[in-house]
Structure formats: structure tokens, C-alpha cells
Structure 1
Amino acid sequence: MKKQTEIIMQLTKRELILNLYFSQIIFIVIAFLLSYILLNDITSLIHMFNWEIRELFIYGFLPGLLIVIIDLLLIKLLSEKHYDDGGINKRIFTSLSIPQIFLLALVVSFSEELLFRGVLQTSFGFIIASILFALVHFRYLNKPVLLVSVLILSFLIGYLFLLTNNLLVTITTHFTIDFLLGMYYRVYYSEVKPAWESR
């Protein structure tokens, strides 16, 4: 069986991005199907979206920013092998423009929070939803630092939803993390010419 890195190297940038967007569409479809089955009413998801700017800033943006700062410190302190996810993040974010990173982070944060917090946490509780969220990031399973990081992140975001019952809060946190780290990858690795650059 080929290693994940080898599989990634065989994909063009377009194929990689399309696969990522396709997986997010699947999450959204699953979220709506499960909300109909488990919550008995799709509209109940809509009531979890509250546009309270102060709440979004305090419980959404600030925790996301803090997580990014801690993550960047750990990246600087630990060797690169601890944060190597098989080249996926580098491959994705170095090939995207800033607006594309913004859109991708928005789609990922919306779809994953809709499913894992809006449906699964509401139906099965904080712990189960948080563990399932971490397990979906299966490429981290053989990377202890990344696995612990995504577990802590999952429980933190789940706790923020527990506090606020506001999906926009967790989407804001998730988006802040993905967008800022995506920008870091784009800027930090933009000078390095990877093997797939010409594809």
C-alpha cells in the first residue's frame, strides 16, 4: 500500500483541492440527513446560528487566535517531523491565493461545525462529537503531536459550543485557525519550490 505522501504527490493541485471540497460537501449532506433523522427538524440547525458580535469575538475569534499563536510557537519549538501531516497542508495552502484560502477555510469550518457540533454534539454529547471530530482527521493518527493537538482543539471547540449553543461561535473559531494557519503555510513555504510546483 502506498504511503499517503506518495498518493498526494501523484495528485495535481486541482485534484487535491477538488477532493477536499468534495469531502466538505459530503459533510454538509450528512449533516442535513442526520439532522432530519436525529433532530427531527432541519430548521433546528438554523436556530443555532446567532449573530451576536460580542459573543463571536470573545468566544470565537479570540480563542481561535490564541490557538494559532500556541500552534506557531510549537511549530517553532518542535522539529518539523512532529508537525508533518504527509505534506497535505503545505501542498494545499502553497497552491492557493489569499481569497482561495479564505473560501476554503470558510467552507471547511462551516461544514465540519455543522456536522460535528450542530448535529453530532447536539445528539450524542460533547465527548462523543469531539472524539469523532478528531478521528475524522485520520492522517494525524500516527503523529502523536498532531493527534494530541487536534484532540485538544476538538474538545475546546466542543466546549465553546457547550457554553454558547451558537454554531457561528465555533465556525468563527475554526475559521480563524484554518485561515491564519493557511496563511502561515502560504507565506512560510512560498519561497520553497516543491516537486509538484510545475503540475
Structure 2
Amino acid sequence: MKQSELIKQLSNEDLRKSVIYSQLLFIVIAAVLSLVLFEDLRTWTFIIQFDISEVVYFGILPGILIVLVDLVLMRFLPSKHYDDGGINKRIFSDISIDKILLLTFLIALSEELLFRGVIQTIFGYIFASVSFAIVHVRYLRKPVLLISILLVSFLIGYMYEVTDNLLVTIFSHFIVDFLLGIFIRYKSWGES
């Protein structure tokens, strides 16, 4: 049975739960890989830095810019180019803002711990960025979504290269997902 058929059988709540479970799995994988691949677990203290100006300048502001570019593209491209099979709409359309905030923070935290914190730190920028895009499998057959996720992945990976600060990538990723989640929640998605 195809992934899309399995997803259609899930309720919106079950779909959100599966997203949460997959993100918790990413955290476990990141923890296990860091135990195996890091020379010392203190590596985490070097790559997570509480530099607010760096987080704002390299994380939050680029995150807002990514969302603005996405919204402009959504405005001018037919909605079929941004259709991920209705999954994002089902995840975000009927939940409260505080649940969107928590869910998107979990997604940003878990994916950045794994893809930038472990994979990029050990295997490099290109491998981590491509791996991140591949994990978003539902975008692989949608050229606009695939290009978008690749560009965002390389941009966020580059911000990590520049800053060596995982908080920058976590906040950038969070801003993108949170603002787009809010947009999906309050927009009549796919009507055009």
C-alpha cells in the first residue's frame, strides 16, 4: 500500500500523532548517533550557543524572508504546485495556535538536532541538506516543492556553516514552519 493511501486512512488527529512520533524518533536517532559518532558529548555544548543577535540575524530574519518568498510564489503559481497531497492542510487546519506553536517547535528542534547537529556536523553540509530534502518524501514528486525544500535546506545548512550555532537553524526552521502553519490554518488552502 502506498504512503498516500495509508495517510488517507488516518484521521487528522492520528496524522498529527504520527508526525509527533516521527519527530520523537528523530530525537532518539540524533541522540544515538551523537553517542556513536561524536568524540565527546560536549560537542553539543559547542554547537548550541545562546547568542540572541546571531539567532535573530541569521535565524529569525532569514526564516521570515523564506516565508515571504514562499507566500509570493504561492500567490503567483497554481495551487497544484504547492499541494503535498493535503497533508499540511490536514495537520494545521483545525488546531489552535498554541498547538501549531508546539508542533512546529518540536519539528524544528528534532529535525535540526538530527540533520544539522549530527549529520552536518559529522558528514558535511551537502550530505545533510540533501538528506533533509529526501526525508520530506512527499515533496519528491512535486518539482516546486522539491526545489523549495532543497533551497531552504541548503540555506539553513549554510547558516549553520556560517555560525556553527544550532540555535540559529532551529529558530529559522521554526519560524518557517510556524508562520506557514498559521497561514495554512487561516487560509482556504487550494482555492484558486
Q: How many residues align?
A: 190
TM-score by length of 1: 0.92
Q: Distance in 1 between matches of 2:45 and 2:149?
A: 27
State the shift of 1:51 in Å: 1.2
Question: 1:94: which partner in 2?
Answer: 93
Question: 1:142: which partner in 2?
Answer: 141
Q: Distance in 1 between matches of 2:135 and 2:157?
A: 15
Q: Distance in 1 between matches of 2:108 and 2:54?
A: 17
Question: 2:17: which partner in 1?
Answer: 18
Q: Distance in 1 between matches of 2:28 and 2:6?
A: 26
Q: Distance in 2 between matches of 1:80 and 1:47?
A: 42
Q: Where do residues 1-199 of structure 1 align in structure 2 (5 Å cutoff)?
A: 1-2=1-2, 4=4, 6-189=5-188
Moved over 3 A (4+): none
TM-score by length of 2: 0.95
Q: Distance in 2 between matches of 1:32 and 1:68?
A: 30
* Kept in 2: contact 1:94–1:189 (CA 8 A): no
State the shift of 1:2 in Å: 4.5
Which runs of 5 or more structure 1 residues have no equivalent in the other structure?
193-199
State the Cα deviation string for residues 56-114 of structure 1 (Å, max 9, x = none): 11000000000000000000100011000010000000021000000011000000000
* Kept in 2: contact 1:55–1:169 (CA 8 A): yes
State the shift of 1:47 in Å: 2.7
